[in-house]
Amino acid sequence: GAVVSQHPSRVICKSGTSVKIECRSLDFQATTMFWYRQFPKQSLMLMATSNEGSKATYEQGVEKDKFLINHASLTLSTLTVTSAHPEDSSFYICSALGQGMTDTQYFGPGTRLTVL
Amino acid sequence: TQLLEQSPQFLSIQEGENLTVYCNSSSVFSSLQWYRQEPGEGPVLLVTVVTGGEVKKLKRLTFQFGDARKDSSLHITAAQPGDTGLYLCAGYGSGNTGKLIFGQGTTLQVKP
């Protein structure tokens, strides 16, 4: 099956610093990747859609200057939380949609971000 | 706007009991997916239902897709503590964007 990895799995940082989270499709090429945010015992909230080689499309209410997304290759998308604050603490999950793989998104294991 | 209403949002039952989780919408979906997520991990796809009226079984889990493709249900028979987790239904929105629309999720706790 298709595998998506995320790195790091957990990160703790100080307020005001920036944190980069990587999302990789390990055995397939992903034309589109999605970034979600999830609070405890709640559903996934889509933040943005990332297409390889083009600018990300952000959902309403998501600050594009705060959550920088780069999809430089068909197997890697990165999410950078800039000038992180405690309210940015959350579980961030990516998913990938492969070329020719219709109707199936493969999810990464998530990254727990804690901002002190 | 397409929405998926999932209920109940929280469920705590004893081992051996049966339960049903519902996922409803006023919109038609081409398919619906069910995921299970454990704390600190990403969602894992359980099943995709595509045809109206379709029933799929996965061991003790039975998934149904409504005839009109606007609703789905997940029934668990003789729940076990290992079934504990967050269950999510999701469907693809209109417009072929690839975006998944998620229900609110159902947190299930099965007590031994």
Does A101 have pLDDT greater than 70? Answer: no
Q: What is the largest distance, in Å, between two alpha-carbon atoms of chain A?
A: 42
Dihedral sign computed on CA atoms, order B88, B62, B74, A103: positive
Residues of chain A contacting residue B86, judged by C-beta atoms under 8 Å apart: 41
B45-91, pLDDT tens digit by residue? 999 999 999 999 999 999 999 999 999 999 999 999 999 999 999 99
- Distance of alpha carbon B92 from alpha carbon A38, whole angstroms: 19
Closest CA–CA distance from residue B43 to any residue of chain A (Å): 6
Give the residues across from B21 on adjacent strands.
B74
Percent of chain A with pLDDT over 70: 95
Kindly state the helix (H) or strand (E) to which residue A46 belongs, with its residue range. Answer: strand A44-51
Percent of chain B with pLDDT over 90: 85
Q: What is the mean pLDDT of residues A38-58?
A: 91
pLDDT reported for residue B45: 92
Does B8 have pLDDT greater than 70? Answer: yes
Query: Is the distance from CB of A45 to CB of A36 less than 8 angstroms?
Result: yes
Residues of chain A contacting residue B93, judged by C-beta atoms under 8 Å apart: none
pLDDT band at B96 (very low <50, low <70, confident <90, very high): low
Where is average pLDDT lowest: A78-82, B68-72, B98-102?
B98-102
Closest by CA to A112, choosing from A41, A3, A8, is A8
- Distance of alpha carbon B32 from alpha carbon B16, whole angstroms: 27
- The residue in chain A having the minimum alpha-carbon distance to the alpha carbon of residue B101 is A46
- Distance of alpha carbon B4 from alpha carbon B49, whole angstroms: 15
Residues of chain B contacting residue A103, judged by C-beta atoms under 8 Å apart: 30-31, 48, 92
Residues of chain A contacting residue B5, judged by C-beta atoms under 8 Å apart: none
Residues 6+ apart with CB under 8 A from A42: B104, B105
Contact B105 A42 (CB under 8 A): yes
Give ∠ CA B37-A98-B70 in degrees, rounded to 5: 55
Kindly state the helix (H) or strand (E) to which residue B37 belongs, with its residue range. Answer: strand B32-37
Helices (H), chain A: none
pLDDT reported for residue A100: 65
pLDDT reported for residue B102: 94
Compare CB distances from A109 to B42, B48, B86 and report the shortest one's residue. B42
Q: How many residues does chain A have?
A: 116
- Distance of alpha carbon B74 from alpha carbon B87, whole angstroms: 9
Query: Is the distance from CB of A10 to CB of A112 less than 8 angstroms?
Result: yes
Per the structure block, which two tokens stand in for A36? Answer: 């979600």
Between A54 and B64, the more confident residue is B64
Does A102 have pLDDT greater than 70? Answer: no
Compare CB distances from A105 to B30, B86, B100 and report the shortest one's residue. B100
> Cβ of B42 under 8 Å from any chain A Cβ?
yes
Compare CB distances from B105 to A43, A104, A108 and report the shortest one's residue. A43
Contact A49 B100 (CB under 8 A): no
A36-46, pLDDT tens digit by residue? 999 988 999 99
Q: How many residues does chain B have?
A: 112
